[in-house]
């Protein structure tokens, strides 16, 4: 089965993977929960190329997970903010964080725990 066929199945896991199934998207969402909103913040934290980051942000905006808002800083620029649909991902990220603590050698930075538990969905 090809990946495109798998993501077209009437399966919520396959549909979710079509949105979040690459290695950068969930990290961008994690950073949005941590308060990052600007392109440069995401790029500096994750070390992505401009092209890859632009593609992932556009996909998240098109899916309604982030909203792109204009702001002015010498020239018009944009920031990316979680929508209610995006904030609804907090339990999934919390579950992934808990799994990672239990089954890997990762530790949870306080800022991650605080950011994910402060969300009201």
CATH of the domain at 82: 1.10.10.10
Give the DSSP H or E segment for 79: strand 75-82
The reply to whether 48 falls in a domain is yes
**pLDDT score of 18:** 86
The reply to whether 90 falls in a domain is yes
The reply to whether 18 falls in a domain is no
**pLDDT score of 99:** 92
**pLDDT score of 116:** 67
**pLDDT score of 121:** 43
**pLDDT score of 53:** 98
Q: How many domains does the chain have?
A: 1
The residue ranges of the chain whose pLDDT is under 70 are: 1-7, 113, 116-121
For residues 60 and 53, what is the distance between their CA atoms, to the nearest angstrom?
Answer: 11
pLDDT per residue as tens digits for the range 39-67: 999 999 999 999 999 999 999 999 999 99
* 17 Cβ neighbours under 8 A, 6+ residues apart: 6, 7
**pLDDT score of 7:** 65
For residues 93 and 10, what is the distance between their CA atoms, to the nearest angstrom?
Answer: 23
Q: Containing domain of residue 47, as a range?
A: 23-117
DSSP state string for 33-57: HTT--BHHHHHHHH---HHHHHHHH
The reply to whether 103 falls in a domain is yes
């Amino acid at each position: 089965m090809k990946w495109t066929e798998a993501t077209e199945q009437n399966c919520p896991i396959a549909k979710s993977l079509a949105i979040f199934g690459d290695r950068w998207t969930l990290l961008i969402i994690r950073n949005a929960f941590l308060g990052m909103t600007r392109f440069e913040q995401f790029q500096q934290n994750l070390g992505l190329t401009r092209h890859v980051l632009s593609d992932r942000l556009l996909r998240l905006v098109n899916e309604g997970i982030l909203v792109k808002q204009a702001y002015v800083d010498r020239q018009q620029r944009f920031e990316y903010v979680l929508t209610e649909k995006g904030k609804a991902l907090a339990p999934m990220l919390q579950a992934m964080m808990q799994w990672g603590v239990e089954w890997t050698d990762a530790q949870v930075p306080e800022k991650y725990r605080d950011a994910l538990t402060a969300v009201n969905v």
